[in-house]
Chains A and B, each alone.
Chain A
Amino acid sequence: KAGVTQTPRYLIKTRGQQVTLSCSPISGHRSVSWYQQTPGQGLQFLFEYFSETQRNKGNFPGRFSGRQFSNSRSEMNVSTLELGDSALYLCASRPGLAGGGTQYFGPGTRLLVL
């Protein structure tokens, strides 16, 4: 089985722009979570989707949004980019049964905001 894939792998944007990141989970996985990783704050939970519904949300401003499609692929969007949004954005998937199954992480999208 192919692993979790994320596109693009690298992205450079300027302040005020918006960006959309994509995540394709492992085939058959219905749960997708997003995390932001920065040197200062570490890995922080953004949101979690299951069957196209947002199941949980972290403490991030409304500029951060996401969605999940019927094929379980997910996108996250960040509007009005700020310098502090520069980070590695990680997506993880698992079958979807809460409390069971390993979460598999993708390689991440590294976003640089200038």
Chain B
Amino acid sequence: TQLLEQSPQFLSIQEGENLTVYCNSSSVFSSLQWYRQEPGEGPVLLVTVVTGGEVKKLKRLTFQFGDARKDSSLHITAAQPGDTGLYLCAGEVSYNTDKLIFGTGTRLQVFP
């Protein structure tokens, strides 16, 4: 069974702080995606990383895919209250299916 473990599970920080969320697995994924989900809504894709070692930046968010394509991290610089939400990593099992294995989720709360 392919599993994705995220840590931490909960994170409560002040505006302006930096944070890192980790997504780890013993399985290899063809790609890994990060989503953010807000209450009452479905997850919204933030980024897809495909190549081992790949680093992508989206404004204050930096995403990294591990060299072995088994793990990933999301780093947020100078967090803002608008970053509050549930962050989910999801691994794509193979190129022949849309099936995603979702991580356990990290609930982030940023206080002003």
Contact = CB atoms under 8 A, between A and B. Distances in A.
B42 A92 contact: yes
Interface residues of B, number: 23
A56 B88 contact: no
B44 A103 contact: no
A112 interface: no
Interface string A89-114: 01010100011001111111000000
Contacts of B41: 107-108
Nearest to B31: A99
Interface residues of A, number: 25
Contact of B96 (A98, A103, A108): A98
B43 interface: yes
Given A56-B99, A99-B92, 11 more contacts: A33-B99, A35-B102, A44-B102, A45-B99, A45-B100, A45-B101, A56-B98, A98-B97, A98-B98, A99-B30, A107-B40
Interface of A: 4, 31, 33, 35, 42-45, 48, 50, 55-56, 58, 90, 92, 94, 98-99, 102-108
> 9 nearest interchain CB pairs?
A105-B42, A99-B95, A43-B102, A56-B97, A56-B99, A48-B98, A33-B98, A105-B43, A98-B96
